[in-house]
Amino acid sequence: MRAPTHPQAPRPASAALLARLRPALLASAIVACGGSPTAAEAPEAPTGTSGPRLITEFVGFVDAARGMLVLRPQAAAQRSAGVIAQGLAEVNVVQDGVPSAGPDNSVELVTESTAIKTGAQGCGAFDAFSGMVTLRSFFPNSTLQNTYIELTRVTPIGHEACNSSPVPPGLEVSDALGLFAYGTIAAKGGASDHATREWKLLLPTTTNFGFIGRVMADVVSTVAVPTAFGRGADAYGQGSVPTTNFGASPLITTRSTPGNPPNNYKDYLRFDLSAAAAEIDLASASAATLSFAVTGRNGTVTFDFYGLPDGLPGDAASGWTELGLTFGNGPGNAGKGGADLSFFTTAPGDSNGNFLSSLGQQSVLNPAANATVSFSSAALLNWIKSDTNGLVTVALRRGDAAGIIHLHSKENTLGLAAPTLTVVGPRR
């Protein structure tokens, strides 16, 4: 059989159908449980490896004769066990002709069009009720990753999807009734903040039917923390004046001169991760990047990066101060501080019980004036993940002996970004 495509189901009729069908659907869904054990089990929170997931439930109704696919949020009192919004807003489902609007940190489902498909375009021996369904994100600062929509109950049975996506490894979902992969959906407002997939549901008869489904996604946020935020700080020390502080300087000098310690410089950047830790699960962070703007220089410039291990005295809020740090008292001195002009130590410890852990190095060729240098490493990421007090201190130095290059500090007056630590991780 063939039926015309319906670009948009009429809203009043949809609402009326919803009201009429919901009690019957819910009653019959319970009956259907016995014959469909896989689908009957209450969905449980998937145990993905990347932290909290958005899980939210919806109900759907199909009136094939009218070409209607109606999608609505599941009422809170009727959600399956384990289906929660993870502290996030409940799914906002619309089919009212006004897409692209919704509260922050929610998603919407929109039926773009429907059709009845037959033959090779259908479900093999049966016709298919086809719905083009858009999932749109209203998360302003987060990406939805590994996004799936799974049908968990279909009533009456016999209307399961015939074009399900494969079950991904490591995710507790089933393709028995319907599984649609929506991939990665960008943050709200961009061209990629939504995705559309076709749902092809078996249509052995044109009897009305309904289903329950859930939307699942890893909600991944990116948080950029400059040294200018909160208890952040940036400062450096100069070997020739080991008791002089340069915390207010708009430039942070780096230079290494083997054999001439007075010409060495030590640089310290502290980042206040308290807001980032509130936004994302730092322990499950997936990426960390340190970036800063530099003055220009010809040739290759190499920076050595170190992290002050969490919990050492220098890591405390009182560990070092922006206007008190000097070459001689910076945490992780190679010697015992004071007049010792050696560089950093990675073995315990200096006179204050501090030492540093190597995070790696980064080389850049011919950096232009005000260019941004970015550094990432597994050691940097693991060090961020180990933080427990919301404060991290990066120590750095120039790793080659080829003169001076500066970082632009948070006090720079050029309008350049302060040194920044950017962390990506699952949203709390």
Count CB neighbours of 256 within 10 A: 22
Among the residue ranges 77-85, 128-136, 145-153, 404-412, the one whose residues contact Ca ion (CB under 5 A): 404-412
Closest to Ca ion by CB, 198 vs 411, is 411
Determine which residue in the list 387, 397, 398, 406 makes contact with Ca ion, applying CB under 5 A: 387
**Considering the complex, what minimum distance in angstroms separates the CB of residue 149 from Ca ion?**
40
Best CA proximity match to 107, nearest among 83, 131, 86, 89: 89
Q: What pairing do the DSSP bridges indicate for beta strands 68-73 and 251-254?
A: unpaired
Closest to Ca ion by CB, 128 vs 394, is 394
Is 279 one of the binding residues for Ca ion (CB under 5 A)? Answer: no
Between CA 214 and CA 91 the distance in angstroms is 9
Among the residue ranges 126-134, 279-287, 358-366, 408-416, the one whose residues contact Ca ion (CB under 5 A): 408-416
**Considering the complex, what minimum distance in angstroms separates the CB of residue 252 from Ca ion?**
7
Q: Counting Cβ atoms within 10 Å, is residue 244 exposed (0-12), middle (13-18) or buried (19+)?
A: exposed
Q: What is the largest CA-CA distance in the chain?
A: 90
Closest to Ca ion by CB, 366 vs 389, is 389
Closest to Ca ion by CB, 67 vs 419, is 419
Among the residue ranges 3-11, 192-200, 218-226, 405-413, the one whose residues contact Ca ion (CB under 5 A): 405-413
**Considering the complex, what minimum distance in angstroms separates the CB of residue 392 from Ca ion?**
5
Among the residue ranges 113-121, 157-165, 347-355, 379-387, the one whose residues contact Ca ion (CB under 5 A): 379-387
**Considering the complex, what minimum distance in angstroms separates the CB of residue 408 from Ca ion?**
10
Is 152 one of the binding residues for Ca ion (CB under 5 A)? Answer: no
**Considering the complex, what minimum distance in angstroms separates the CB of residue 386 from Ca ion?**
8
Between CA 285 and CA 232 the distance in angstroms is 20
Is 409 one of the binding residues for Ca ion (CB under 5 A)? Answer: yes
Residue sitting closest to Ca ion (CB): 310
Closest to Ca ion by CB, 210 vs 226, is 226
Q: How far is CA 67 from CA 113, 157, 317, 420, 428, in A?
A: 9, 19, 63, 53, 40
Closest to Ca ion by CB, 68 vs 235, is 235
x/- contact string, 290-319, with Ca ion (CB under 5 A)?
A: --------------------x----x----
Q: Are 299 and 314 in contact (CB under 8 A)?
A: no
Write b or e for each residue in 121-156: b if 16 or more Cβ atoms lie within 10 A of its Cβ, otherwise e. ebbeebbbbbbbbbbbbbbeebbbbbbbbbbbbbbb
Residues 336-365 binding Ca ion (CB under 5 A) are none
Residues 210-239 binding Ca ion (CB under 5 A) are 234
Between CA 209 and CA 406 the distance in angstroms is 68
Is 112 one of the binding residues for Ca ion (CB under 5 A)? Answer: no
**Considering the complex, what minimum distance in angstroms separates the CB of residue 363 from Ca ion?**
25
CA angle centred on 285, ends 321 and 221, rounded to 5°: 95
Best CA proximity match to 211, nearest among 178, 180, 182: 178
**Considering the complex, what minimum distance in angstroms separates the CB of residue 350 from Ca ion?**
17
Closest to Ca ion by CB, 240 vs 389, is 389
Between CA 34 and CA 81 the distance in angstroms is 17
Among the residue ranges 134-142, 169-177, 285-293, 402-410, the one whose residues contact Ca ion (CB under 5 A): 402-410
Q: Are 3 and 64 in contact (CB under 8 A)?
A: yes
**Considering the complex, what minimum distance in angstroms separates the CB of residue 407 from Ca ion?**
10
Q: Are 29 and 177 in contact (CB under 8 A)?
A: no
**Considering the complex, what minimum distance in angstroms separates the CB of residue 226 from Ca ion?**
11
Is 160 one of the binding residues for Ca ion (CB under 5 A)? Answer: no
**Dihedrals phi, psi of 327, to nearest 5 degrees:** -60, -35
Q: How many residues bind Ca ion (CB under 5 A)?
A: 9
- Sign (positive or negative) of CA dihedral 226, 229, 231, 235: positive
Between CA 28 and CA 22 the distance in angstroms is 10
Rule CB under 5 A: which residues touch Ca ion? 234, 247, 310, 315, 387, 389, 391, 409, 411
